[in-house]
Structure 1
């Protein structure tokens, strides 16, 4: 009977162990935490990394994040910079791979136009309301 209870407890505990099995067990990519040897190339990489958002963190840049995914993204940026690729081409590649959310500097497109239009509309409506209220007081 004790064996049956122990087996039942083990079977019931297995679903709780699933998140542990999903942990990252791979070592970080080589350039995740290692800077490029050329200071000029590293400066270009750092500048780009501060404009890219970590997808797992609370809107931290990949330069600031300790998440494994951010490390992989830093590795990609440094590898591509070292290969002579243009930072804007790297940004475009990351945006095509992960979507507009990855960039702190989104480009105007059919999916990002509200980011640019809504603040302008809010300012215009607020200005209209203020002017109208001031006219009503006079």
Structure 2
């Protein structure tokens, strides 16, 4: 989870933990981008649109669909919402975020993440098998 306000970040982390979910909290974009845990298991990101060092929509684009993103903002407007959803955001929630709304959005995002993870694992197995095929005339199948 990457939210701009310390107290909001702490409160949301407690809420998510109370629902039995593991939470990693980040205070900066560089700290968040340094983590390699996004691809390691099905996960989602709760991301504030207004971040101290980068716009949340820009960060969402940089992640390129690595995992489902739930965007939250205190400055909600239709244009931002439409832009975020077209860019593939899993959900877009206004602040103050309702507990049930956030937890429901996380559950949906995690279900999508499990599906994406299963497809990625299957693709990796198929690519591994494909790479073991005999080369014809010294050329790779790819």
If the length of structure 1 is used for normalisation, what is the TM-score?
0.31
The structure having more radius of gyration, on CA atoms, is: 1
Report the TM-score when normalising by structure 2.
0.30
Q: Which has the higher strand share?
A: 2
